[in-house]
Amino acid sequence: MTAAAPLHLAGERLMLDPAGAVFWPARNMLIVADLHLEKGSAAAGRGRLLPPYDSRVTLDRLALLLRRYGPAQVLALGDSFHDAEGAARLQAADAARLAAMAQQADFIWVLGNHDPRLPDSLPGKVAAIWPDGPLTFRHEAKGSSGEAEICGHHHPKATVPVRGASVTRPCFVTDGHRRLMLPAFGAYTGGLDIGDSAIASLFPRGARVFLLGRERLYHFHVGRPRAAMAVA
Amino acid sequence: MFSSDMSRRSLAPRKPPAATDVAALPDRFAAWFAARGWHPRPHQLDVLEAFRQGAHVLLIAPTGGGKTLSGFLPSLIELAERPEPTEGGGIHTLYVSPLKALATDIARNLTEPVDEMRLPIRIETRTGDTPQNRRQRQREMPPDILLTTPESLALLLSLDGAATMFAGLRSVIIDEVHALAGSKRGDLLALGLARLDRLAPEARRIGLSATVAHKPELAAYVSADGQGGGLRLIEVADPAPPDLSIMLPAGHLPWSGHMGLASAPDILDRVREAGLTIIFVNTRAQAELLFQDIWRINEETLPIAIHHGSLDVGQRRKVEAAMAAGSLRAVIATSSLDLGIDWGGVDQVIQVGAPKGVSRLLQRVGRANHRMDETSHAILVPANRFEVLECEAARQGVAARELDGDAPRPGGLDVLAQHLLGMACAGPFHPDDAFAEITRAAPYAAVDRATFDAVLSFVEDGGYALQVYERYRKLFRDAEGLVHVRHARIARQYRMNIGTIVEAPMIKLRLGRGPVLGEVEEWFVSTLGEGDTFMFAGRLLRFVRLREMTAEVADGGGGTPKVPTYAGARLPLSTGLAARVRAMLHDPAAWPAFPEPVREWLAMQQYRSALPGEDDLLVETFPRGGRWYLVAYCFEGRNAHQTLGMLLTRRMERFGIGPLGYVATDYVLAAWSAHEPRDLDALFDEDMMGDDLEAWMADSSMLRRTFRNVAVIAGLIDRQLPGAERNRRQVTVNSDLIYDVLRRHQPDHILLQATWADAAGGLTDLGRVSGMLQRVRGKIHHKALDRVSPLAVPVILEVGREHVVGAAQEDLLAEAEALVSEATGEEHPENVLARSPRFDFRFT
C-alpha cells in the first residue's frame, strides 16, 4: 500500500503521493508536473530512436492516480508535452486514452517553456498560471513571490549517501510555507540535483525534501546551501 | 639510431641470433641487416614465405622476438620491389594497434630502415589525434603504409571514398591480437577487416600475438573466413620460463587486505639493489597507497614514480620518458604498463598482490628487458595468507606453462549495429551481402539471419513492435532492396559516436589554476566536501570546488585522506589458478612449499574444521555475535561469488533463514543470517539459477550499467563527450529510464537481448556459478562448527564491506532517514544529502 504524506502550505492540506503527484482534498484536485509527453518521438526526430512507449507509460501512471483519488480536476503544471508539436504527435491510442481521462475529470493545462502553446483539440482548459484560493500554480517558480506557489520545471532529484554508496531519487522540495516544487512525472524525464544553484537559490533558507520511494516518501532536511554545494 | 628514441619498440632483435639463411631477402635488405650485424630470424623468414605464398599468418611470439619487423618485412620488400611508386595508388599496408601511442611509435621506428635503405615508401599514422588537414591529405593521397587504431579504421571505412582508398591493399597487420580478440574493440575491428576483405580480396592478414591459451580461436579471428582457413600459424618457442620468487613481509603475515603495504620496506630494498624496477599492482587505489608508503620511508629519495590510467596523458608520458632516459629507479604501475611499448632497461619486475592469472603474470614479467635466451627473474609479493597460496599456484602454473584466460566470447550485437550504420554511411548495401560478409568475421560467425535482421531493423527504425518512427528512420531500402542512409546528418552523428569504449562520466582534477593531474569518476567527486583530502597522482590533495566538469584541488590538507576507486577495477582469479589453489590446499604433501605461518594455519584448519576438497564444496556454519555465519569455499573468483551471494541470500530469505548480508572475496563467499542455515543441499541446489537469477538480474544496477554501454555503442543514445555538458543542445535521456520503459513494453527487443548476453559473461560470471553448482551437487561437505574456523578468518575480517540483502535501496533510504532524524531532530536542518553524481536534465 502506498502512503501519501500530508503537507500544510498556506493553511491548505496537500497530500504528497510517492508516485510524484500532489492531491489537494479540499478541491478534489490532482496535480502533476512535467509530463514531457512525446519526448521519445522528439528525440527520434533528432536521430535517436528511443523506444516509443514513453507517453503510454506516463499515461499509465496518471491513470493509476486517477483511479486512486478519483479527482474532479487534474492540473498539469506545464511541460506536459515535450515540444509544441508533441500533442499532434501523440499516437491515436494515447490520444484516445487522454480524451477518456478528460471525461472523468476536468483538465487544466498550465503552459510551460516546452509547450508555450497547446492545440485547441486538447480537452480541458489552458492557462499561463492558475490561481486557486491561497495557492498559485505556475510552471516555473517566481524568484521572490509573496503568494504560496506550487511549481514544477526544475525536475528536482536528490542523493542520499547510504553505507558507502548512494541512492538518487526524484523528490518534492518545499520551504514549508511558501513554495512546493514537484518532481517530474514523465517516463523519460531526468532530474537536476537540488544542490544545483538553479534550485538551491529558490530555497535560500533551506528546504525539506521528500524522496520518492516504491511505497512511501523519505523525508530529509537540507540547510542553507554550502558554497561547495553550489554547482555553477 | 633506435637507442636515441625516448620510448621504443624495437623492430629488430636486440642481439644477433644464430646465422640464418638470408637468401630469401633481396640484396638491399640483406645488406641492411648485415650492416647492423643482424640476421633475420627464422620466423621472420617464415612469415615472409607464407606471405609470398598468399597465406594469412598468425605469429605467436614472446616479447623481444622481433615480432613487429616480421609483420612489416613482407610489405617493405614488396613495396621496394614494385616497378615504380604510383602516387595516389591507395594504401598498400594497413597496421592496426589497440594503442594510439604504439601506432605513433612504430611509425617512427619504421621510418629508420626505410630511410636507411632509401626505400620510396610513405608512412603515416591516422588516429583520433591526426589533424584535419592531414586527414584530408590522406584521403586525396593515401600513404603506402598507414598505421591506425580500430576506431580510426571504422571511421575511414565509413567515408564514401573507402573503396578507392583500400582497393590496392595488400597487407593488414594486426598487432597485439591477443588483447583485441574477445573484446568489443576486437569485434569492431573484426567487422572492419571483413569489410576490407570485400574491398580488397587480395590483401593478406598478419596477426601478431603474445603467447595465449586459445590459439585456434585466435587463428579464426585473424583468418579471412572466420574459421582459420588459409592461415599459417607460426610459433616462436618461449624463452626459458621466468624464475619467480615469493617475498613475504618481515614479521607478521597479514590475515586480510589486498594492498601489500606491509611489504613496502622489503620492496624498497629490492629497488635499491636493481637498476630499474617496475612494481606492478592490481588497482589504481593500491598504486596510490603503496606509492605513499614507499615514499614515507624512501630516505635516500630514490627516484620512484607512479603510472596509472587515470593520470593525465602528459604526466604519463613524462614518467615514460624518464624511464627510457634511465633517470628513474622504479615505477609503481597498474595495467597501464601491461601492453605496448617495450621499455628498454627494465631489470626487475615485482608483482604486489595476487597475480590473478598465469597469462597476465607472464605478460607483466615479460616487461623486464631480458634477453630471450636468459632466464628472467621476478618477485611476487602476496598481501595476505590466501595470496600466498595464490602466488605459489601462479609460480607452479608459470613453470607448467599453463596459460589461462577466457576464450573469446561471441561478438556484441551493439557493435554490429554500429558497424551496419557505418556500412550504410559508406554506400548502399544489400542485406544478403552484408549478412554473408559479417558472418566471415569470427566473432559473428554464429549469428543467425533472424538476429542479423533484428539488428538491422534496429538500425533502420529502432526495431520497435510499435512502428511509429517511419518518418524518422535512419535507413531506407530502395526498389532493389539496397539499404541507404537517409540523411547526411545521420552519417555525421555516426562518426561522432564510433567506438566501443564507454567511460563512466569523469571529472578532471586541476591543481589550482595550474595543470590537470588526471581524472576521477564523477561519483567519487560527489562524495567530497570542501576541504576533504584524497590521494591522487602520488599527492595528498584537498578538494576546493567543482566547476563544470573540473574539480579544483590544492596540495596538502588534514584528516584521513580518501582514495579514489574505479568501477570494475578488479580482475577475478582465473579458473586455472583457482583449481591449483584448491588442489594444494587439500594435499598436505604440497605444503612444504608454503612458509611456516601458512602451514600452521592450514594444519589448524584441518584440526578445527576440514580442508576444502578437490571436487567437493566445503561449507562451514557457525554462530558468532548473535548471528549465524555461512562460509562457502568456492574458489570461483570475486565476480562469481557476488552473483552467488545475491542468489543464495534470496533463497535463504525464502527458506526463512533471515539473511542479513554477505561478502565475497576471490576465494570464498560468506553470508550471515538471523537463523541457523541447515539444509545446505537444498540451499545450494542448481535451480538457484532459475527464477531468482532472472528477477535479480533484471533489476540489478549491473544490468542497467550494461544497458547503458550497449545503448551508447548501438547508437541509441549519445556518447557523453568531454566538455559537452555545458552547451548541450539536445536533451539527453537517462538510460535507466529507457531501460525501464523498454523492459516493460518490449522485453524481447534486440538491445535487451544484447544486454543480457553481455551481462551473462562479464561481471556476473554466470558460467562459473552454474558450472560450480553442477559440479558440487551431492558433494556439499557441511561442517557445523561452534566458532569461526582459521580459514574463515580472512573473509570475516572483510565484513563491513558487505552487500545488504533484500529490497536494498528502499531499506537503506529508510535507515538513512531514521538515522538522520535520530541524530539531528526535526529542528536542526542538516546537509545530509550528497550531490547527485550525474546531471541528466538541463533546461532547454
Minimal CA separation from B508 to chain A, in Å? 15
Q: Is B545 helix (H, G, I), strand (E, B) or coil?
A: strand
Rg (CA), chain A: 17
For B663, the enclosing helix (H) or strand (E) is strand B659-664
Type of residue at A198: A
**A60 grid coordinates:** 499509465
B841–A198 CB contact, under 8 Å = no
DSSP codes, B25-39: S-HHHHHHHHHTT--
DSSP codes, B628-647: EEEEE---S-HHHHHHHHHH
Considering only CB atoms, which chain A residues are within 8 Å of B731? 39, 42-43, 82
Residue of B nearest to A187 (CA): B737
A191–B837 CB contact, under 8 Å = no
Do residues B14 and B374 lie in contact, with contact meaning Cβ atoms separated by under 8 Å?
A: no
Chain B contact probe: residue of A162, A175, A208, A226 with most B CBs at under 10 A: A162
Considering only CB atoms, which chain A residues are within 8 Å of B745? 51, 53, 56-57
Residue-level pLDDT at B833: 58
| CB nearest to A187's CB, from B741, B810, B834 | B741
Residue of A nearest to B824 (CA): A221
Chain B contact probe: residue of A193, A205, A209 with most B CBs at under 10 A: A193
Residue-level pLDDT at B169: 96
Closest CA to A48 of B464, B499, B715: B715
Minimal CA separation from B836 to chain A, in Å? 5
A206–B829 CB contact, under 8 Å = yes
Provide CB contacts within 8 A for B82, sequence distance 6+.
none
| CB nearest to A220's CB, from B530, B749, B817 | B817
Looking at the DSSP bridge assignments, the partners of residue B426 are none
User: How distant, in Å, are the alpha carbons of B72, B543, B750, B776 from that of B742?
Assistant: 49, 40, 11, 38
Rg (CA), chain B: 28
Chain A contact probe: residue of B745, B803, B835 with most A CBs at under 10 A: B835
Residue-level pLDDT at B565: 67
B530–A193 CB contact, under 8 Å = no
Residue-level pLDDT at B760: 78
Q: Is B193 helix (H, G, I), strand (E, B) or coil?
A: helix
Minimal CA separation from B344 to chain A, in Å? 43
Encode chain A (232 residues) as per-residue pLDDT tens digits.
578 999 999 999 999 999 999 999 999 999 999 999 999 999 998 888 999 999 999 999 999 999 999 999 999 999 999 998 999 999 999 999 999 999 999 999 999 999 998 988 899 999 999 999 999 999 999 877 678 999 999 999 998 876 556 678 899 999 988 999 999 999 999 888 898 888 989 998 889 999 998 888 998 888 754 433 333 2
Chain A contact probe: residue of B725, B733, B815, B826 with most A CBs at under 10 A: B733
Do residues A79 and A139 lie in contact, with contact meaning Cβ atoms separated by under 8 Å?
A: yes
B817–A184 CB contact, under 8 Å = no
| CB nearest to B833's CB, from A46, A160, A215 | A160
Alpha helices (H) in B224-283, listed in sequence order: 264-273
Q: Is B344 helix (H, G, I), strand (E, B) or coil?
A: coil
Q: What angle do CA B199, B203, B204 make, to 5 degrees?
A: 140
Low-confidence ranges of chain B (pLDDT < 50): 1-10, 12-20, 569, 722-731, 806-807, 824-831, 837-840, 842-844
| CB nearest to B741's CB, from A53, A91, A192 | A53
Pairs of CB atoms within 8 A across A/B: 195
Name the DSSP letter for residue B415.
Answer: H
Q: Indicate the average pLDDT of chain A.
A: 89
**B55 grid coordinates:** 597465406
Name the DSSP letter for residue B594.
Answer: S
Considering only CB atoms, which chain A residues are within 8 Å of B474? 47, 49
Closest CA to B257 of B301, B302, B293: B293
CA-to-CA distance for B24 and B5, rounded, in angstroms? 30
HEC string of B614-632 equals CCCEEEEEEEECCEEEEEE
Considering only CB atoms, which chain A residues are within 8 Å of B490? 47
For B580, the enclosing helix (H) or strand (E) is helix B575-585
Per-residue pLDDT reduced to its tens digit, A182-217:
999 999 998 888 988 889 899 988 899 999 988 889
pTM for this entry: 0.85
Residues belonging to chain B? 844
Do residues B581 and B649 lie in contact, with contact meaning Cβ atoms separated by under 8 Å?
A: no
A47–B824 CB contact, under 8 Å = no
Burial of A91 (0-12, 13-18, 19+ CB in 10 A): middle
With respect to CATH, is domain A5-231 assigned 3.60.21? yes
Minimal CA separation from B731 to chain A, in Å? 8
Considering only CB atoms, which chain B residues are within 8 Å of A60? none
| CB nearest to B716's CB, from A49, A57, A223 | A49
Chain B contact probe: residue of A221, A222, A229 with most B CBs at under 10 A: A221
A193–B820 CB contact, under 8 Å = no
How many C-beta atoms surround the C-beta of residue B104 within 10 A? 17
A188–B737 CB contact, under 8 Å = yes
Residue-level pLDDT at B575: 84
Please report how the helices B413-426 and B184-199 are oriented relative to each other, as an axis angle in degrees rounded to 10: 30
Considering only CB atoms, which chain B residues are within 8 Å of A229? 831, 835
Do residues A31 and A17 lie in contact, with contact meaning Cβ atoms separated by under 8 Å?
A: no
Minimal CA separation from A143 to chain B, in Å? 16
For B489, the enclosing helix (H) or strand (E) is helix B488-496
Per-residue pLDDT reduced to its tens digit, A160-190:
876 556 678 899 999 988 999 999 999 999 8
Give the strands of the sheet with B304-307, arranged side by side. Answer: B243-246, B377-381, B348-352, B277-280, B330-333, B304-307
Provide CB contacts within 8 A for B89, sequence distance 6+.
B142, B168
Sequence ranges of the domains in chain A: 5-231
CA-to-CA distance for B198 and B163, rounded, in angstroms? 9
Minimal CA separation from B27 to chain A, in Å? 58
Considering only CB atoms, which chain B residues are within 8 Å of A196? 839
CA-to-CA distance for A188 and A77, rounded, in angstroms? 17
